[in-house]
């Protein structure tokens, strides 16, 4: 069975048909976004697997680029793995004048230290090596926004 259709009849666009003419102008009104919505996400995570030597080979250029950032603030490493010694950092070409390596104190953990370093805003980037839960990722992201910093977490699998 076929239904006859007039070729001269125009079809309403799908959304106008459902929304009606009175609502369409409201969709074109501009919406002001909060200032942080225009910025890039302040939290990133990098997952590396394989031998420590292979991971260091991949990590070297990333850390070198971050250490040469034109921002006057620190590149901060929170409790880096034992294989990332001062000698290795120097040989990887990092700018050691702009590098701060922090270890948690007694009674403090790496996550709390990273969160505090981000919140204070004295670092342009805080690099951590923590196995994070989703709520912790969000917490680091919020702390980074407060300090106008970037958080980079590296997972070594």
Taking alpha carbons only, the member of 154, 140, 152 closest to residue 75 is 152
| pLDDT for residue 19 is more than 70 | no
Tokens of 135: 């709520």
Mutual angle of helices 110-120 and 134-146, in 10-degree steps: 30
Q: Which of 135, 37, 136, 146 is nearest to 78 (CA)?
A: 136
Q: Domain 43-156 is in which class?
A: alpha beta
| Whole-number pLDDT of residue 18 | 46
Highest mean pLDDT among 15-24, 27-36, 106-115: 106-115
Look at residue 33 and tell me whether its pLDDT is greater than 90: no
H or E element at residue 154:
strand 150-156
In tens, the pLDDT along 36-93 reads: 445 579 999 999 999 888 999 999 999 999 999 999 999 999 999 999 999 999 999 9
pLDDT of res. 39: 58
Give pLDDT, residue 40.
Answer: 78
What residues does 76 pair with on adjacent strands? 100, 126
Number of residues in the chain: 157
Mean pLDDT value across residues 124-145? 97
Q: What average pLDDT is seen over the chain?
A: 84
Helix, strand and coil content of the chain, in percent to the nearest 5, comes to 40, 20, 40
pLDDT category of residue 157 using cuts at 50, 70 and 90: confident
Compute the distance between CA of residue 110 and CA of residue 89 in angstroms, rounded to an integer: 20
Distance (Å, rounded) from C-alpha 129 to C-alpha 114? 10
The model's pTM: 0.74
């Amino acid at each position: 069975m076929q239904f006859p259709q007039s070729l001269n009849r125009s079809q309403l666009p799908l959304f106008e048909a459902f929304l009606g003419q009175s609502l369409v102008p409201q969709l074109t009104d501009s919406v002001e976004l909060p200032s942080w919505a225009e910025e890039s996400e302040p939290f990133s995570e990098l997952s590396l697997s394989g031998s420590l030597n292979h991971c260091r080979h991949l990590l070297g250029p990333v850390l070198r680029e971050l250490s040469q950032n034109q921002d006057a603030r620190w590149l901060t490493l929170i409790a880096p793995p034992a294989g990332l010694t001062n000698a290795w950092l120097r040989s990887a070409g990092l700018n050691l004048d702009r590098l701060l390596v922090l270890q948690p104190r007694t009674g403090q953990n790496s996550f709390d230290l990273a969160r505090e370093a981000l919140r204070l805003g004295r670092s342009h980037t805080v690099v951590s090596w923590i196995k994070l839960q989703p709520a912790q990722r969000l917490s680091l992201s919020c702390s980074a926004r407060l300090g106008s910093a970037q958080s980079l977490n590296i997972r070594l699998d």
